[in-house]
Structure 1
Amino acid sequence: MGRERTLEEDDVTTLEDEKSRASVISFFSGCGGLDLGFEGGFQYRDQRYTRHAFRILKAYDIDQYCKATYEKNLKPPFELLDLSRADVKRMPAADVLIGGFPCQEFSICGPLGGTKSARGMLFKAMSRYARHWRPKIVVAENVSHLTRLNEGADLKGILRSFANAGYRGIVWRLYAPDYGVPQARNRVILVFVRSDIKGSPQPPKKIHLINGPTVEWAIADLLEICDESVPNQSQYFRAAVAKRGHGQGDEISPRDSPGYTVRANAKSRVQFHYELPRRLTVRECARLQTFPDNFVFPFAATRSVHQIGNAVPPVMAHAVASSIADFLKICG
């Protein structure tokens, strides 16, 4: 299953073109935000994000609902798999490994178990794959608090795990609005380069040096739409007031600046519209995360917002992928 793509010039590829693309394996794929950014070939608002020279061989995640959303929108094969127990030897070799390993144990809003918890140790699935298959580069995404948790001890442990696998680590701290995302989202990108490869990829170039795109820019055209003429626009969590916490809850979305971070807890962490007396719809949350409108979330609001909040914004992922692609051109 896969969604129909608009046949833009950059989407038309030959078999020879496909073979020349760098192969990618995706771990902790979720609904596919990071994967879509690495593939490219999508449109968000009025901008076309070109196809990258990457070919995703396979995506892995344990969540059956994410599998359904992924397969509705993306073409790569998706396998349900518990990556904590997975035999990486049975997986395909690839040039690049990508993944947003679970962030809950590193988040300031989470239990803060860090790498001492079972969920916090899931990053090791990626270092095991790297040790066995030796991809040229590994790209991992997580919350920015990872770098500060336990005075940096958790980050050092992750870097050490990849160093033992034969990789040197680079830490990028990215603020999503700098890359065209209308949402005040801070994230860390961990880039691991195989030790025999010289040089390092450069962080993606910022395209918004002041403020960044606004909530109004992202969703104003949806103001009078309350049906499914735009997919998922009729869906929202119908609660009057939510508990406060970490800048969300019953906060009203700012009109003239990037919005609050879209989080995975749809019941207590989804902000209200800046003008209408309701919470943001599933599509409006997807807009703040830079999913294109033809990326459809097939479930009820709670589950869909959970997937959106856990995702990597595709537009930011596209910027990261551009930097990785440029580096691979140089290192061969």
Structure 2
Amino acid sequence: MLTSGHIFCGGGGDTEGAIAAGYKPIWAVENDPYAAAVYRKRFPGARLIEQDIRTITGDFILGLPTPDITIFGSPCPDFSLAGERNGLAGVRGQLFFEGLRFLRLQRSSAFVFENVDGLLSADKATAFPQVIQAFTSLGYRCTWQLRNGNRHAPQNRERIFVVGYYGGGQGDTAQANKEIFAGNF
């Protein structure tokens, strides 16, 4: 069975999606006590790490089982058009790099990163290219799409999804889009 790890898991929306896709969640990280309580109730079989991600040591991360896919969406207020717009330099924007640290140490076979569409214009439109470069510098071949979640919730929620798999190099992004999304996304 394929496995998944979840960073900034909240109440488990991404975990629910991973389970529906055939993955077994093996660990999750969440600092908010209310979101963690919801997650524990919904997914009692997953190991929930309830602490500030910045305090999790590299040795601890290396001791976790490496999932087949790591799924995360760092907190968005520094990217959101309605938020603080501090980009990757903001307190919450910098949390993206904590998710990246998990990928660097564990090298899961694939990842999914999700965030608000404001990431495209944050930091005078320099944040998103930095995000993609950060993933590719770790050896992940990446592709991305901007999608509206209104197919799944009764509201317009534009989101960026970056999907990557390890060892693919930078390769042909158009071909990667065909391979990864294949109309099923």
State the partner residue of 2:134. Answer: 161
State the partner residue of 2:38. Answer: 69
Residues 255-276 of structure 1 show CA distances to partners (whole Å, capped at 9, x for unaligned) of: xxxxxxxxxxxxxxxxxxxxxx
1:84 paired to 2:57: no
State the partner residue of 1:190. Answer: 162
1:59 paired to 2:28: yes
In the alignment, the residues of structure 2 paired with residue 143 and residue 137 of structure 1 have an alpha-carbon distance, to the nearest angstrom, of 21
User: How far 1:184 moved relative to its partner?
Assistant: 1.2
Instruction: Please point out which of 90, 93, 102 is paired with 1:117.
Output: 90
1:30 paired to 2:10: yes
1:129 paired to 2:102: yes
* Superposition map of 1:292-311 within 5 A: none
User: How far 1:118 moved relative to its partner?
Assistant: 2.5
Bigger CA radius of gyration: 1
In the alignment, the residues of structure 1 paired with residue 94 and residue 163 of structure 2 have an alpha-carbon distance, to the nearest angstrom, of 18
Structure 1 counterpart of 2:4, which letter? V
Q: Percent identity?
A: 25
Residues 91-141 of structure 1 show CA distances to partners (whole Å, capped at 9, x for unaligned) of: 221110001211110001111110012310111122222222211111011
In the alignment, the residues of structure 2 paired with residue 190 and residue 86 of structure 1 have an alpha-carbon distance, to the nearest angstrom, of 24
User: How far 1:162 moved relative to its partner?
Assistant: 1.3
In the alignment, the residues of structure 2 paired with residue 204 and residue 146 of structure 1 have an alpha-carbon distance, to the nearest angstrom, of 24
In structure 1, the gaps of 5 or more residues are 1-20, 41-51, 206-319, 321-332
Cα root mean square deviation, aligned = 1.9
Distance 1:104 1:120, change over 3 A: same
Distance 1:141 1:203, change over 3 A: farther
State the partner residue of 1:140. Answer: 113
Q: Secondary structure at the match of 1:92?
A: coil
TM, length-normalised to structure 1: 0.49
TM, length-normalised to structure 2: 0.86
Instruction: Please point out which of 99, 121, 124 is paired with 2:72.
Output: 99
From the two aligned structures, give the one with the greater strand fraction: 2
Structure 1 counterpart of 2:9, which letter? S
Q: Is the contact made by 1:137 and 1:193 (CA closer than 8 Å) also made in structure 2?
A: yes
Residues 24-81 of structure 1 show CA distances to partners (whole Å, capped at 9, x for unaligned) of: 11000001111111112xxxxxxxxxxx320110111111111111112223221102
In the alignment, the residues of structure 2 paired with residue 92 and residue 112 of structure 1 have an alpha-carbon distance, to the nearest angstrom, of 35
Structure 2 counterpart of 1:143, which letter? V
User: How far 1:152 moved relative to its partner?
Assistant: 2.2
* Superposition map of 1:216-295 within 5 A: none
Q: Secondary structure at the match of 1:110?
A: coil
Q: Is the contact made by 2:86 and 2:123 (CA closer than 8 Å) also made in structure 1?
A: no
Paired residues in the alignment total 174
Structure 2 counterpart of 1:39, which letter? I
State the partner residue of 2:145. Answer: 172
Q: Secondary structure at the match of 2:53?
A: coil
Residues 150-177 of structure 1 show CA distances to partners (whole Å, capped at 9, x for unaligned) of: 3321011111211221112211100112
Structure 2 counterpart of 1:53, which letter? G
Q: Is the contact made by 2:141 and 2:168 (CA closer than 8 Å) also made in structure 1?
A: no
User: How far 1:203 moved relative to its partner?
Assistant: 6.1
From the two aligned structures, give the one with the greater helix fraction: 2
State the partner residue of 1:201. Answer: 180
Residues 185-232 of structure 1 show CA distances to partners (whole Å, capped at 9, x for unaligned) of: 111111122124884411654xxxxxxxxxxxxxxxxxxxxxxxxxxx
In structure 2, the gaps of 5 or more residues are none
